[in-house]
């Protein structure tokens, strides 16, 4: 949430039991063209103490929203309708932390995951708040 | 034309020749005249000699003889009658020198038609027809001008002046209308300027143009003739120039006379040379029958090309079920219609067999092409069947390649559908279940938590299996990043180490997919049967062929015949025009090589 004064307000995490070491929620932008997946991952991440600040259904709107919302993390699907998630990551990272995800596995993309500017890759079926936190909190 | 008729013509020509010789000798005279003038007496003549008159007559008879020879060959009914008529007209022209008024009037009027007709012969050679509009105009202008101008001269000529090419003897015109020799001379000057100057120059220009525009084959045949007639016509231009020189040196007249004679003789030699070449070409067709016995079908075109002396000749074979022409290798040929190349279609019992695409100059001798086609008929039939079979094979090959491409596209579509559909829904479901699991955990309901754990685990198995299925149908990485990346991914998840040596470049999709599935199947066999410890996969493109080689040091014994999946892959490789070689001796490891043609 961005107030009119331009001060960024981050509410204290409500579900303190699951992430009691955090005082401030990590903001996330979800970029994926499947509405069902976006809804599921939003529910799961919010339950895990993340703040989902926005959703985008393609690469172009993902880049626009990342600029406007300045999320801490962009959870980015590799297969987008208008452009590749790798190309979106090239534009956003390293200014923004980008985590790639896909229903395929990392080796299905060969060297592209390793050579990408993203923090890392989480297969969609392994996605969880903890998995995302492990990647984003790695120095 | 029978031999007797030919001999008869020559005898008649010789008879005319004697008459012409006597007419010229008696008419012009062989003596030198001493003519008094204002500046003293000067000599004129002789206007002919026995040698010059003989040469003139010889040219006329030579025209008749060449025409008779031409009539007996392929030029019958076309150029031969023109040549014979030119010869007789040439001889008859000499009667205009007669002092008999009737003969003088008649042959002065019509005699110069011989020159116009000689030009007509040159422009009509070798087909016998003048087709070009400028050439037609020139021929008509030639005939018209010789008749018109000579008619006009006869209207005014009173016999008191010396006409061009005549001696000073007095002759009477039967057509005299108004005696005015000055007008007659002026008309003759205009005639000389128009006919020997303008028309002869145009004639040379058209001959040069014809030579420039001719196809290479026609140029070879036409060159001697066109050179000869151009030289002969140039002489006319010179005659025109000398006519307007006040007192031409006698040497010039003498040179011009022999220039004319040798020009016409060169013209006739060139025509006879053309006839000999045509006979040689026909003789070449005779040899064709023997040569065809030794000619393989795919070289039939070269053999016919040699026999017809046309290096550009091509053969197109008719394929009935495709309704089109193909070459010896079964590739479609579109018959040219632009006129730059000519087409002769060959039928058998009303059915098309083949078409010869050749130099248009061959159309001037259709009997030659017909004779060659008749000689090659059996070979052409065989070659047509051969080409038809090749065309069908090519069709089958193209069809197989299209099937492979369509199957690949279908595989890609299925993989996308699995990925975008069921896989996404199951993944989303898994996330929802895990959210539910957390909520249930918070509610401290162990039974529900256990139930959810089991469901999530089962769902994960389903997701894994579906992912594996999609990957096996068509790996996305192959579409996205190509063969090298796909093989790297394959090696990454392989249970045994694989040494990769693959060029990282994009190739046509069917080639990449075929190479990938060959490697996949070979590696699957290694995993299942070979017990190998060293496995290498190499893929390199060289000279438009991608070679994929999979080697292992396992137990060997692999074969495309025992249902290993390699048979299907061999079919797939062959569908793209390639080949699959399996070298797998018992105990000696396995080497599988796929060679797949690829344009880029």
pLDDT confidence of residue B156: 92
Domain count, chain A: 1
User: Could you tell me which chain B residue has the CA closest to the CA of A83?
Assistant: B480
What is the band of A14 on the pLDDT scale with cuts at 50, 70, 90? very low
State how far residue B594 is from chain A, nearest Cα, in angstroms: 24
Q: Is residue A70 part of a domain?
A: yes
Q: Per residue in B520-560, pLDDT tens? A: 988 888 888 767 788 999 999 988 899 999 998 888 877 76
State how far residue A3 is from chain B, nearest Cα, in angstroms: 30
Largest Cα separation within chain B, whole Å, is 155
Q: Is residue A45 part of a domain?
A: yes
Residues of A with Cβ-Cβ distance to B428 under 8 angstroms: 34, 36-37, 39-41
User: Is A21's pLDDT higher than 60?
Assistant: no
Residues of B with Cβ-Cβ distance to A81 under 8 angstroms: none
User: Could you tell me which chain B residue has the CA closest to the CA of A37?
Assistant: B428
pLDDT confidence of residue B16: 86
Residues 6+ apart with CB under 8 A from B592: B518, B522, B549, B550, B558, B566, B580, B581, B582, B583, B584
Q: How far apart are CA A70 and CA A51, in angstroms?
A: 12
Residues of A with Cβ-Cβ distance to B427 under 8 angstroms: 37, 103, 124-125
Q: Can you spell out the DSSP letters for B64-104?
A: HHHHHHHHTTTTTTTHHHHHHHHHHHHHHHGGGG-SSHHHH
pLDDT confidence of residue B548: 93
* B368-376 mean pLDDT: 76
Q: Per residue in B178-212, pLDDT tens? A: 888 889 989 988 998 898 889 988 998 898 888 88
Do the Cβ atoms of B529 and B521 come closer than 8 Å? no
Q: Per residue in B2-31, pLDDT tens? A: 778 888 888 888 888 888 888 888 877 766
pLDDT confidence of residue A63: 93
Of B350, B356, B351, B361, nearest to B375 by C-alpha is B356
Q: Is A43 within 8 Å of chain B by CB?
A: yes
Of B523, B528, B514, B490, nearest to B569 by C-alpha is B514
pLDDT confidence of residue A2: 37
Return the higher-pLDDT residue of B102 and B247. B102
Cβ–Cβ of B428/A37 closer than 8 Å? yes
Residues 6+ apart with CB under 8 A from B435: A40, A43, A44, A47
State how far residue B467 is from chain A, nearest Cα, in angstroms: 7
What domain range includes position A51? 27-137
Measured distance between the N- and C-terminal CA atoms of chain B, rounded to whole angstroms: 65
pLDDT confidence of residue B450: 81
Residues 6+ apart with CB under 8 A from A119: A93, A97, A98, A99, A135, A136, A138
User: Is A18's pLDDT higher than 60?
Assistant: no
Task: Sketch out chain B's domains with CATH numbers.
Answer: 3-281 (1.20.1070), 282-399 (3.30.450), 480-600 (3.30.565.10)
Cβ–Cβ of B481/A112 closer than 8 Å? yes
User: Is B443's pLDDT higher than 70?
Assistant: no
Q: Per residue in A86-138, pLDDT tens? A: 999 999 888 889 999 998 888 888 778 888 888 889 999 888 888 998 888 76
Q: Is residue A123 part of a domain?
A: yes
State how far residue B460 is from chain A, nearest Cα, in angstroms: 7
ipTM, two decimals, is 0.77
Q: Considering only B23-27, B183-187, B288-292, B390-394, which range has the smallest mean pLDDT? A: B288-292
Do the Cβ atoms of B99 and B171 come closer than 8 Å? yes
Q: Is residue A50 part of a domain?
A: yes
pLDDT confidence of residue A12: 37
Residues of B with Cβ-Cβ distance to A103 under 8 angstroms: 419, 423-424, 427, 463, 467
> Beta partners for B348?
B351
Cβ–Cβ of B489/A125 closer than 8 Å? no
pLDDT confidence of residue B387: 77
CB atoms within 10 A of CB A54: 19
User: Is B325's pLDDT higher than 90?
Assistant: no
Q: Which of left, alpha, beta for B355 (phi over 0: left; psi -120 to 50: alpha)?
A: beta
User: Is B126's pLDDT higher than 80?
Assistant: no
Cβ–Cβ of B424/A39 closer than 8 Å? no
Return the higher-pLDDT residue of B480 and B542. B542
Q: Considering only B37-46, B142-151, B332-341, B440-449, which range has the smallest mean pLDDT? A: B37-46
Q: Which of left, alpha, beta for A11 (phi over 0: left; psi -120 to 50: alpha)?
A: beta
Can you give the CATH number for the domain in which A40 is found? 3.40.50.2300
Return the higher-pLDDT residue of B225 and B156. B156
pLDDT confidence of residue B142: 94
Do the Cβ atoms of B74 and B280 come closer than 8 Å? no
List of E strands, A48-124: 51-56, 73-77, 97-102, 120-123
User: Is B73's pLDDT higher than 80?
Assistant: no
Return the higher-pLDDT residue of B77 and B584. B584
User: Is B303's pLDDT higher than 90?
Assistant: no
What is the band of A5 on the pLDDT scale with cuts at 50, 70, 90? very low
In whole numbers, what is the pLDDT of chain B averaged over residues?
83
User: Is B446's pLDDT higher than 80?
Assistant: no
What is the band of B299 on the pLDDT scale with cuts at 50, 70, 90? confident
User: Is B176's pLDDT higher than 50?
Assistant: yes
Q: Which of A48, A108, A131 to mutate to test the interface with B (most CBs of B within 10 A)?
A: A108
Q: Considering only B237-246, B309-318, B350-359, B403-412, which range has the smallest mean pLDDT? A: B237-246
CB atoms within 10 A of CB B346: 23
Residues of B with Cβ-Cβ distance to A111 under 8 angstroms: 485, 488
Return the higher-pLDDT residue of B597 and B225. B597
Q: Is residue A16 part of a domain?
A: no
Q: Is residue A51 part of a domain?
A: yes
Q: Considering only B301-305, B569-573, B594-598, which range has the smallest mean pLDDT? A: B301-305
User: Is B150's pLDDT higher than 90?
Assistant: yes
3-class DSSP state for residue B535? Answer: strand
Q: How far apart are CA B253 and CA A82, in angstroms?
A: 93
Q: Per residue in A34-57, pLDDT tens? A: 888 899 999 989 988 899 999 999
User: Is B447's pLDDT higher than 90?
Assistant: no
Residues 6+ apart with CB under 8 A from B217: B309, B310, B311, B312, B359, B361, B362
Q: Which of B415, B428, B516 to mutate to test the interface with A (most CBs of A within 10 A)?
A: B428
Q: Per residue in B215-256, pLDDT tens? A: 777 777 778 877 888 787 888 887 777 777 655 555 566 677
Beta-strand pair B545-552/B590-597 = antiparallel
Cβ–Cβ of A18/B485 closer than 8 Å? no
User: Is B562's pLDDT higher than 80?
Assistant: no
Cβ–Cβ of A103/B476 closer than 8 Å? no
Which alpha helices (DSSP H) does B474-558 contain, by range? 476-481, 483-492, 509-525
Return the higher-pLDDT residue of B407 and B308. B407
User: Could you tell me which chain A residue has the CA closest to the CA of B437?
Assistant: A44
Does the bond joining B471 to the residue before it have cis omega, within 30 degrees of 0?
Answer: no
What is the band of A24 on the pLDDT scale with cuts at 50, 70, 90? low
Q: Is residue A133 part of a domain?
A: yes
Q: What is the DSSP letter of B537?
A: E
* B38-54 mean pLDDT: 74
Of B562, B597, B598, nearest to B582 by C-alpha is B562
What is the band of B369 on the pLDDT scale with cuts at 50, 70, 90? confident
Angle between helices B424-443 and A35-47 (to 10 degrees): 20
* A5-20 mean pLDDT: 40
Do the Cβ atoms of B531 and B553 come closer than 8 Å? no
Q: Can you spell out the DSSP letters for B353-422?
A: EEEEEE-GGGGG-HHHHHHHHHHTHHHHHHHHHHHHHHHHHHHHHHHHHHHHHHHHHHHHHHHHHHIIII
CA dihedral (B253, B255, B256, B258) positive or negative: positive
pLDDT confidence of residue A19: 43
pLDDT confidence of residue B109: 92
Q: Is residue A108 part of a domain?
A: yes
């Amino acid at each position: 949430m961005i107030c009119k004064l331009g001060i960024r307000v981050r509410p204290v995490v409500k579900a303190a039991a699951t992430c009691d070491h955090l005082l401030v929620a990590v903001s996330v932008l979800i970029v994926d063209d499947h509405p069902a997946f976006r809804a599921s991952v939003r529910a799961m991440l919010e339950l895990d103490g993340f703040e989902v600040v926005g959703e985008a259904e393609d690469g172009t709107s993902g880049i626009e929203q990342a600029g406007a919302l300045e999320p801490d993390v962009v959870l980015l699907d590799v297969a987008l309708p208008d452009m590749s998630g790798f190309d979106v990551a090239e534009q956003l990272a390293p200014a923004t932390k980008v985590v790639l995800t896909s229903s395929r596995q990392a080796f299905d993309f060969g060297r592209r995951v390793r050579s990408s500017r993203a923090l890392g890759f989480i297969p969609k079926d392994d996605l969880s708040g903890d998995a995302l936190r492990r990647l984003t909190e790695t120095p | 034309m029978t031999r007797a008729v030919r001999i008869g013509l020559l005898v008649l020509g010789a008879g005319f020749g004697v008459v012409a010789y006597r007419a010229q000798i008696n008419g012009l005279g062989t003596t030198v005249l001493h003519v008094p003038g204002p500046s003293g007496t000067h000599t004129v003549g002789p206007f002919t000699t026995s040698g010059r008159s003989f040469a003139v007559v010889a040219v006329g008879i030579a025209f008749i003889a060449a025409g008779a020879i031409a009539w007996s060959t392929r030029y019958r009914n076309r150029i031969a009658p023109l040549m014979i008529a030119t010869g007789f007209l040439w001889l008859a022209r000499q009667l205009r020198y007669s002092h008999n008024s009737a003969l003088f009037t008649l042959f002065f009027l019509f005699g110069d038609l011989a020159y116009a007709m000689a030009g007509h012969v040159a422009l009509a050679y070798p087909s016998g027809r003048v087709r070009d509009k400028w050439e037609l105009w020139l021929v008509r202008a030639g005939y018209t001008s010789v008749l018109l101008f000579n008619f006009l001269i006869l209207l005014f000529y009173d016999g008191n002046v010396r006409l061009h090419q005549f001696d000073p003897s007095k002759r009477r015109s039967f057509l005299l209308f108004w005696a005015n020799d000055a007008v007659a001379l002026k008309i003759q000057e205009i005639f000389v300027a128009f006919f020997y100057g303008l028309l002869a120059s145009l004639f040379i220009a058209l001959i040069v143009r014809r030579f420039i525009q001719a196809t290479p084959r026609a140029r070879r045949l036409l060159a001697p003739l066109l050179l000869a007639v151009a030289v002969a016509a140039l002489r006319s231009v010179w005659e025109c120039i000398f006519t307007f020189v006040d007192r031409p040196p006698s040497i010039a007249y003498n040179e011009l006379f022999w220039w004319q004679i040798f020009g016409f003789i060169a013209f006739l030699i060139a025509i006879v040379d053309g006839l000999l070449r045509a006979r040689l070409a026909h003789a070449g067709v005779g040899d064709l029958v023997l040569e065809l016995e030794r000619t393989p079908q795919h070289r039939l075109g070269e053999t016919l090309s040699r026999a017809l002396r046309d290096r550009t000749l091509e053969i197109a074979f008719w394929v009935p079920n495709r309704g089109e022409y193909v070459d010896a290798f079964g590739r479609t040929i579109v018959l040219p219609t632009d006129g730059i190349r000519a087409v002769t279609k060959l039928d058998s019992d009303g059915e098309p067999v083949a078409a010869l695409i050749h130099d248009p100059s061959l159309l001037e001798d259709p009997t030659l092409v017909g004779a060659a086609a008749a000689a090659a008929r059996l070979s052409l039939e065989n070659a047509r069947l051969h080409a038809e079979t090749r065309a069908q094979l090519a069709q089958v090959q193209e069809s197989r390649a299209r099937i492979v491409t369509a199957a690949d596209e279908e595989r890609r579509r299925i993989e996308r559908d699995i990925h975008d559909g069921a896989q996404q829904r199951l993944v989303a479901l898994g996330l929802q279940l895990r959210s539910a699991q957390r909520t249930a955990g918070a509610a401290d309901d162990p039974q529900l938590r256990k139930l959810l754990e089991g469901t999530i685990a089962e769902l994960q198995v389903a997701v894994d299996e579906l992912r594996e299925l999609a990957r096996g149908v068509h790996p996305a990485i192959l579409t996205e990043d190509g063969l090298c990346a796909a093989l790297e991914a394959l090696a990454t998840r392989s249970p045994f180490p694989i040494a990769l040596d693959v060029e990282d470049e994009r190739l046509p999709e069917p080639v990449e997919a075929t190479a990938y599935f060959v490697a996949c199947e070979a590696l699957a066999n290694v995993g299942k049967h070979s017990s190998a410890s060293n496995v290498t996969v190499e893929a390199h493109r060289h000279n438009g062929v991608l070679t994929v080689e999979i080697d292992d040091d396992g137990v060997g014994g692999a074969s495309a015949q025992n249902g290993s999946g390699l048979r299907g892959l061999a079919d797939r490789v062959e569908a793209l025009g390639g080949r699959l070689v399996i070298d797998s001796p018992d105990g000696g490891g396995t080497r599988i090589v796929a060679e797949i043609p690829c344009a880029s």
